[in-house]
Amino acid sequence: MAKHSSDEVFDETNNEDSGVTATLCNWIVGLEKKDIPDEVLERAKHLILDGIACGLVGSHVPWSEQAVDGILSYEPEGQCSLIGYEEKLGPLAAATLNGGFIQATELDDYHSVAPLHSASVVLGSLFAAAQVKNVKVRGFAFNGQSHEVLEPGRTVSGIDFLIAAIAGFETGPRSGMAIHGTDLLVRGWHSGVVFGCPAAAAASSKLLGLSAANTESAIGIACTQACGLMAAQFEGMVKRMQHGIAARNGLFGALLARNGYVGIKKVYERKYGGYLNMFSQGNTKTPRYDVREVVAGLGDVWHTSRIRFKLHACVGGCHGLVEAVESLQESYPQRFSGEAFSNIKSIKVGLSETIFHHDGWAPHERPLSNTGSQMCAAYISATQLVDSQVLIAQFADSQLNRDQVWELVNKTTCHHDAQFDKPNHQCGAHVVVEFDDGTTVEETVQMPKGFDPPITNEEIRGKYRKLAASVIDQERIEKIEKLVLGIDQLEDVSELLQVLAKPTKSAV
């Protein structure tokens, strides 16, 4: 597979005739196992394993169960399975729910430069795409009369599934980096949902065996549906579902394009109504977008290896904050014990511009919702102080109105600290705590754990086992891990999907 250099191919930043969308689609269609380094293949397996762990835990939290109840009330039975449920639904509904399950507890992966939760959009779409069978494909007889052909059921191999996942893992961050990644969060867009639509379309198109032209249509159909409002992080449940909606949108594009339905062409490079031009409206960058980023380093630079793994059950941008507070607790145990919290006068938190806008807001109600509490820097900091951990249990309904936590929340203010605006530092934090006796202590974390060096595959497996043990039995834990880590040898991926579809218990 030939590698592409954006500097060799494109001489203008945003040339409408650059062929960027077509170049990406040709690369997706031609991608083979031999083109992918072994370490990238292995990392992709662990991304899938981590996503499954999050989906198993997230499938039966209250907001996921409520979503399932709502969708089952109007959706007919289908052929696609759900993580943790015996019921089956049509592909679009299944993609929405499975993607939502993976994102349901804020424990899933994220890309730090072009923020999106890759497993939720990619696996959400692929689990459904792998089970789409007996599809009616429109064709034409020799006399010009249209007819429909019922395509027989098919078997999806594990290696095909893995390569399709990598196509999605690569497409999402590239789509985001072309419009300055984190800038969408500053302006109130839910960036991962915007970047997730073409990622899901790329993955689904690859798995369904679409041509380059049809893949371009699929991505165009996905991009015209792209949206996501970050106001979803405050009161409601829908923030959990939005990456699932992106998974649905990408799969929808691929299924339509599979039947020859023509989508937007040149969707990345079009200036009037194009994806990059429209979603960059209102930013202050120069240039506002750079279409070359979509294909920069294809076949050489692998974003699959740059996706981050979460160790705390909160928004990724606050992981540096959690670790700064944790460091202060370890350094000054007497000052940060429960009895001494009343002696804290103020807590000042410095965050990057992106994370300050996203998570530095002052709580406007008490208690916060489950979602809002995981997106509020002041609440996350207070939770770490009180519980010495930020895990799923900290955000259960019974924990959201504790006086001790709220006394610390009310002493906390956040501000923009420009030192964290550098690439890969945007999830860092500077914490200053002042006490009644005039003493001040502070801590800075430039990059949370797992940035440089990244979290190891062994640590990811440990996270999977810990999360899975809270909702399923040991035999099933071991079987899923064996199937995923050996997925490139798996003849039929439905074997994995069947194990995932068995009921699970609630983790909350």
Asked if residue 125 lies in contact with residue 204, where contact means CB atoms within 8 angstroms, the answer is yes
Please tell me whether residue 277 adopts helix, strand or coil conformation: helix
Which tops the pLDDT comparison, 142 or 340? 340
**Mean of the pLDDT values across residues 147-164?**
79
Q: What confidence score (pLDDT) does residue 476 get? A: 98
Yes or no: say if 108 and 119 are a contact pair by the CB < 8 Å rule. yes
Q: What residues does each domain of the chain span? A: 6-48+89-310, 316-445
- The pLDDT value given to residue 2: 40
Rounded-to-integer distance, Cα 104 and Cα 83, Å: 12
Average pLDDT over residues 231-241: 94
* Beta strand residue intervals within 336-474, DSSP E: 344-351, 412-416, 429-435, 440-445
Give the confidence band of 452 by pLDDT, cuts at 50, 70, 90.
confident
CATH number belonging to the domain at 316-445, selected among 3.30.1490.20, 3.40.1640.10, 1.10.275.10, 3.30.1330.120: 3.30.1330.120
Q: Are strands 77-82 and 440-445 parallel, antiparallel or unpaired?
A: unpaired
Taking only the tens place, the pLDDT of each residue in 354-376 is 999 999 999 988 999 999 999 99
pLDDT of residue 13: 65
What is the arithmetic mean of pLDDT over 89-101? 98
Residues whose CB is less than 8 angstroms from the CB of residue 410 and which lie 6 or more positions away in sequence, other chains included? none
324 has pLDDT over 80: yes
* Cα separation, 133 vs 493, whole angstroms: 14
What is the structure's pLDDT at 17?
82
Instruction: Look at the chain and count its residues.
Output: 508
Amino acid identity of residue 199, one-letter, is A
How confident is the model at residue 1, as a pLDDT?
42
Single-letter code of the amino acid located at 92: L
Tell me: the pLDDT tens digits for 127-137?
999 999 755 55
The percentage of residues in the chain with a pLDDT greater than 90, rounded to a whole number, is 88
- Under 8 Å between Cβ of 84 and 504: yes
Tokens 């799969």 locate to 251
- Say what the pLDDT of residue 424 is: 84
Residue 7 neighbours by CB distance under 10 Å:
8
Interhelix angle for 118-129 vs 38-58, to 10°? 90
Edge-to-edge order in the sheet of strand 440-445: 412-416, 344-351, 429-435, 440-445
State residue 150's pLDDT score: 47
State the pLDDT at residue 6: 38
Say what the pLDDT of residue 374 is: 96
User: Would you place residue 10 in the very low, low, confident or very high pLDDT band (cuts 50, 70, 90)?
Assistant: very low
Q: What is the mean pLDDT of residues 168-179?
A: 97
The confidence band for 3, taking pLDDT boundaries of 50, 70 and 90, is: very low
Q: Is the pLDDT of residue 140 over 80?
A: no
**Mean pLDDT for the stretch of residues 417-436:** 94
Q: What is the mean pLDDT of the chain?
A: 93
User: Over the stretch 471-495, which tens digit does the pLDDT of each residue have?
Assistant: 999 999 999 999 999 999 999 999 9
Tokens at 69, concatenated: 């109840």
Tell me the mean pLDDT in the region 130-154. Answer: 58
The pLDDT, as a whole number, for residue 133 is 72
> What are the b/e assignments for 176-213, b being 16+ CB within 10 Å?
bbbbbbbbbbbeebbbbbbbbbbbbbbbbbbbbebebb
3-class secondary-structure state, position 108: coil
Q: CA quadruple 465, 466, 468, 471: dihedral positive or negative?
A: positive
Predicted local confidence at residue 389, as pLDDT: 96
Domain 6-48+89-310 is found in CATH 1.10.4100.10: yes
Residue 146 has pLDDT above 70, yes or no: no
